[in-house]
Amino acid sequence: MQDLLKLADLTTENILEILNLADQLKYEQRHGIEHPLLKGKTLGLIFEKPSTRTRVSFEAGFAQLGGHPLYMPGSGSQMGRGEPIRDTARVLSRYLDGIMIRTFSQEAVQELADYADIPVINGLTDYTHPCQVLADLMTIREFKGKLEGLKLCYIGDGNNMMNALIVGGLLTGMTVTVACPEGYDPHPDVQKFAADYPGKFEIHRVPIDAAKDADVVYTDVWSSMGMEEEAEKRQKAFAGYQVNAELMAVTKAGCMVQHCLPAHREEEITEEVLEAHADEIFEEAENRMHVQKAIMVLCMKDEK
């Protein structure tokens, strides 16, 4: 694997290889078995949006692999003053062994990868959040023992999370249903991708229709980073799209709940549902680190 820009670039086999290695690294870390697989390597972490989980899990995970992470807030670099991405890519390639980037446009991440000679990992764009969904798949497999044949239901905005979950879910043999208001559908490219999986993907307008018999219910904030100005309008549009006890009542017995976090309690999810599923949701947050370690190893082990 050269880069991780979006899940649609991966095969099912690629995903399973990442998840298997992540399980192994999690086991080793839990049992005090050191694994300095990227000893002496340096990873740049570019953040043009805020982060808690992504920053800390990449930094801690890369240190556990024996590497040296370098935090690079966009606003503190020349990128924030307009230096072209293609120039940044060619400069950073001469210092670093890999780059993780969190930014707005997917095109910017693609340009970075096109001009960089080193692996590029997408740490979230407006379009997708592949590291998060790989951690979600790892967590679902951990709790349910499998992915294939499960029904994954996403309630809420057609944002980066919905886009990535549709692709990741379909690639791993799940049926994916989503519920969103009109005007907040998943990206057209993702709908095109899903069209190759007849009978495995549905868009609903009524949340309980999507959630019926679900094995996993997923939700995320109604206003993503960068959409703060639309918050009031979105609160109204998503008013009926809350993951609550009433919605959970139509799911399969033992249905899991996942949330990428941060969560807005009593908006997209009730405190009651979040706390009832806290063990699954915080395991999911932990798994960000394990899965990203696997991604870094698979992308960077053969570099320089």
Backbone angles phi, psi at 284, to 5 degrees: -60, -45
CB of 139: closest distance to ligand CP in angstroms? Answer: 12
Q: Assess 261 for contact with ligand CP (CB under 6 A).
A: yes
Active site residue 30: no
Tell me which of ligand CP, ligand NVA, none is bound by residue 125, counting a contact when its beta carbon lies within the kind-specific cut-off of 5 to 8 angstroms: none
Element at 21 (helix H, strand E)? helix 12-30
Backbone angles phi, psi at 68, to 5 degrees: -120, 110
Q: Assess 159 for contact with ligand NVA (CB under 6 A).
A: yes
156 contacts 268 by C-beta, under 8 angstroms: yes
* Nearest alpha-carbon partner for 219 in 172, 153, 275: 153
Of the pair 26, 102, the CB lying nearest ligand CP is at 102
CB atoms within 10 A of CB 249: 10
Which residue type is seen at 217? V
Tell me which of ligand CP, ligand NVA, none is bound by residue 52, counting a contact when its beta carbon lies within the kind-specific cut-off of 5 to 8 angstroms: ligand CP
Distance CA 128, CA 112 (A): 16
Active site residue 132: yes
CB of 94: closest distance to ligand NVA in angstroms? Answer: 31
Find the residue with minimal CB distance to ligand NVA.
224
| Three-class DSSP category at 301 | coil
37 contacts 31 by C-beta, under 8 angstroms: no
CB of 159: closest distance to ligand NVA in angstroms? Answer: 5
Site for ligand NVA in 223-262 (CB under 6 A): 224-225, 260
Active site residue 102: yes
Interface positions with ligand NVA (CB under 6 A): 124, 159-161, 220-221, 224-225, 260
Interface positions with ligand CP (CB under 6 A): 51-54, 124, 132, 260-261
The catalytic site residues sit at 102, 129, 132, 220, 260, 288
